[in-house]
Structures are given as C-alpha cells and as structure tokens.
Amino acid sequence: MDAQTVWQCNLSNISVSVDGGQTWESAGKGGSSCIMSFADAKTGWTLKRGTIELTADGGQTWNKVTLPEGVKDIEAISLRTASEGYVLTSDGVLHKTQDGGNSWSSITLDLTKYGQMKFLPSNPHGYPPSVAIRFFDVDHGVIVMSLAGGGSKVVALRTADGGQTWTEEIVPATIGTLHLTHDGKYLTVNSALETEKVTVLRYTGE
C-alpha cells in the first residue's frame, strides 16, 4: 500500500490524494453511507447505497461488482487483493469472492450468543461504519463489531482457518464507529455514548 495515496468519500464525491493529503483530485461520485476499501493505490471498492463499485485505475473508471443474489443491508466491505474481497451483511453472513466478484462463497457467523444485541447502525450521512473487516491472508482475518443493546460492547472475532472457526476477544472500548488499519494493528473507536471520546488501541497479540 502506497502511504502517500489517500482516498475519501462523502455525500458529494470521491477524491484521492497522491501526496499524503496536501492536494486532492475528484475521482467519482460520492453517496450516503459511503465506505471504501483499497487493496493497493489504484485498486479498490466503494460501497454506496447498497451497491459496490470497483476501480482498478485509481478512480478513472468504476464498474459495478456483482453481488450474490439477495444480498442487502451491507455492514462492512474489505478488499484484500485485486481479486479477493469480503462483504458482511447485517444478518451476520460473511460473503467472500476470490475472482473479483464472478463467484462467491459464504459463512454465517454465530451472532445468536449476543442475544438481542445488534450491529450499531451506521450514520446515514457517510460517517465511518460500526463494523470492520481485515484479512491478512486467505486464512487469517479479524472482524470488529460494535454491538448495541443490553450489555453493549465492542467484540473482535479472529479466524486462522479462513472463517471456518472464530475466537472472540472483548475490545476495551465503548461502542461507536470504527476504523481498523490495513494491517489490523490499530483500532480507533469514536464513541457513540460519550461525546468527543475517541479510543485508539494497539493489538499486542500474535
């Protein structure tokens, strides 16, 4: 990943900086609840109004990604490589493609153990989501979730076998919107319960 290339998306447009944020150029149309995930400086997904689009040329062109039939209420997206990506829906189903969206497999997370808690709703005006996905190779990945309801909490689920099994870790932060760095080492939680409280955590596990 190019440290000087920065992408942002809001209600009006998508823009990109190639000089660490000093200058910006328009790279497409924005939208409500816009989420972005990039595999490298030029290849990425953007989620707008339930539709995922792909660019492979730094935002000059965008093409719609074909999702599995019936997929809706997308909570998080992650593009690990140009061909391998992940989509998590509000019903706890993790969809994976290894060929750029031509075909998909799915794994259902067991969220029943959290009772009535649900994903904290994302802000409709395009603020960061309350769920984040990162896979570091085909086997190892993490999903971090803000779960709202009785006993609200932030939970991290980790897998070492491609999502077949998961281990749970409680994250020491109040629920809120999340940003997980590309390498999964740093997590920022903007609290939904305490105004202006931001928690920055570093993962110290293996």
Q: Where are the domains of the chain?
A: 1-108, 111-206
Q: How far apart are CA 124 and CA 43, in angstroms?
A: 25
Question: Chain-wide mean pLDDT for the chain?
Answer: 89
Q: How far apart are CA 127 and CA 139, in angstroms?
A: 30
pTM equals: 0.89
CB 143 within 8 A of CB 94: yes
The confidence score (pLDDT) of residue 126 equals 47
Task: Pick 33 or 69 by higher pLDDT.
Answer: 69
For residues 4-29, average pLDDT: 89
For residues 72-99, average pLDDT: 93
The confidence score (pLDDT) of residue 180 equals 92
For residues 154-161, average pLDDT: 95
Pairing mode, strands 13-17 and 25-29:
antiparallel
User: What is the signed CA dihedral for 49, 32, 193, 167, rounded to 10 degrees?
Assistant: 40
Pairing mode, strands 141-148 and 167-171:
unpaired
The confidence score (pLDDT) of residue 63 equals 93
Please write the tens of the pLDDT for every residue from 162-196: 999 999 999 999 999 899 998 999 999 998 888 88
Which positions ≥6 away from 167 have C-beta within 8 Å? 157, 158, 159
For residues 149-174, average pLDDT: 93
The confidence score (pLDDT) of residue 1 equals 60
Please write the tens of the pLDDT for every residue from 64-85: 999 988 898 898 999 999 999 9
The confidence score (pLDDT) of residue 122 equals 58
Would you say residue 127 has pLDDT above 60? no
Tokens of 130: 């309350």
The confidence score (pLDDT) of residue 125 equals 46
CB 75 within 8 A of CB 131: yes
Question: What is the domain class of 1-108 according to CATH?
Answer: mainly beta
Q: How far apart are CA 173 and CA 176, in angstroms?
A: 9
Please write the tens of the pLDDT for every residue from 109-126: 988 888 888 887 655 444
Would you say residue 200 has pLDDT above 60? yes
